[in-house]
Amino acid sequence: MSNLVAIVGRPNVGKSTLFNRIIGEKKAIIDDVSGVTRDRIYGKSEWNGKEFSIVDTGGFVKNSDDIFESEIRNQVELAIEEAQLIVFVVDVSTGITDLDEDLANLLRPVKKPVILVVNKVDNFSRQLEANEFWSMGFDTTLFMSSLTGSGSGEVMDEIVELLPEESSELEPDIPRIAIIGQPNVGKSSLTNALLGTERNIVTDIAGTTRDSIHTYYNKYDKELYLIDTAGIRKKAKVHENLEFYSVMRAVRAIDDSDICVLMIDAQMGIETQDLKLFSIVQKRKKGVVIVVNKWDLIPKETNTARDMEKEILKRLRPFDDVPVVFTSVVDKQRIMKVLDAALVVYKNKTQKIKTSELNEKILPILEKTPPPTYRGNFIKIKYITQLPLSYPAFSFFCNHPKAVKASYRNFIENKLREIFDFTGSPVGIVFKQK
């Protein structure tokens, strides 16, 4: 199972700045106004050969009457429960506050690694002041400045040192299909309908407590692992934070999968939360199938599958080369088409194309429709190779690689998809100096 790291702390201690430094890009909003991180931000990082996902939470404020701060508190508690490691950020310039103590009291009983990061330690005087934070009683306490980067290497070293080793009993060449989506769209029902009653042919391989369950499936000449993320516990704070909790659970399942089956509710259509999950799948370079469930509840005279498919693909642009399957899991209508579509996407995603075939089929198209000139010079693409990655990615060797515009990159991707079937799969394109 992949690892998830949660950054927690009260408002304005520098959590988002630390998050951006860890993932290496300015993704989180940074502002001095309390509570600016309203949407949870998810990223991926690698250090010393070890990969992990990371979530940047909102500021923690205990017993606040403010409804927004109350929700942040609940979301931090959920992050603590789901993460394998917690980075607790405090601010040396304010010293230990009551809010820091409240959060520390939540974290001390946690049976998981906790790293206390004293932030904004950017001079010798503050380094002396930071020593008071040892009194909070955390074994791993580090000083850093997330703004300048001082001490960030030590924090990253400690994160990868304390994260549990990822282990898997799964066969590497068998497709892993994650069923993801908002709560109550039918994820568990689809899993159960696919598995049926012949439990002797499946083997449950569970990770740690509350992890997604990988179930081995071998029926009807189909061999794969189903990853079910549906096990949301019935707790008050979970009901209050279903959106955050469902994404938190989905992130690790997405990381562990090859193909994601994104289920949406036919009655609701594709919503903002669905697009957020789709975006995570896309950024993780996973294949995807959209499943519109509860189609039996849609009156035939109000909508057609073709109309809804057009609307869904319109919302997914520019990555709209995605299969859409309409199901009624309760009636077991078209549920096998979900696996069929997922396995086709897996085949598309894992196909290797010979260099000779690539150049033979693509170069004539690029010669006929070359990229726009650069400073009066023609851009000439001479050679194409496929990169050895887990998804289709290609190097195009040319004389001015940095001058090729995004619009021409999209043109090339569309041609690749027309000639080689990459439906449901991401496609990567890089331009290199010949």
Beta partners for 218?
A: 223
| Token pair belonging to 61 | 């404020």
Residue ranges of the domains in the chain? 4-162, 176-350, 355-433
Task: Check residues 19 and 342 and name the one with the higher pLDDT.
Answer: 342
pLDDT of 199: 34
Give the up-direction half-sphere exposure of residue 232: CA atoms within 13 A in the CB hemisphere.
28
Helical residues (DSSP H) of 61-180, grouped into ranges: 67-82, 98-107, 124-129, 152-162
CB atoms within 10 A of CB 235: 14
* pLDDT for 40: 44
Q: Which helix (H) or strand (E) holds 15?
A: helix 15-23
pLDDT of residue 81: 76
Over pLDDT 90: what percentage of the chain?
A: 42
220-241 pLDDT, tens digit per residue, is 888 988 887 654 343 444 444 5
- Say how far apart CA 56 and CA 39 lie, in whole Å: 9
pLDDT band at 58 (very low <50, low <70, confident <90, very high): low
* CATH number for region 4-162: 3.40.50.300
Classify domain 176-350 by CATH architecture.
3-Layer(aba) Sandwich (3.40)
| Residue 427 pLDDT class (50, 70, 90 cuts) | very high
How many Cβ atoms sit within 10 Å of the Cβ of residue 18?
25
DSSP 80: H
Strand order in 381-386's β-sheet?
381-386, 393-398, 428-433
User: Would you state the pLDDT for residue 235?
Assistant: 42
Banded model confidence at residue 4, pLDDT cuts 50, 70, 90: confident
Note the CATH number of domain 355-433. 3.30.300.20
Residue 28, pLDDT > 50, answer no
Give 342's contacts (C-beta < 8 A, 6+ positions apart): 175, 177, 224, 259, 261, 287, 289
What pLDDT score was predicted for residue 114?
Answer: 94
Rounded-to-integer distance, Cα 95 and Cα 242, Å: 34
pLDDT at position 232 is 39
Which has the minimum average pLDDT: 156-170, 177-191, 225-239? 225-239
Same fold, 176-350 and 355-433: no
Q: What is the pLDDT of residue 247?
A: 66
CB atoms within 10 A of CB 309: 17
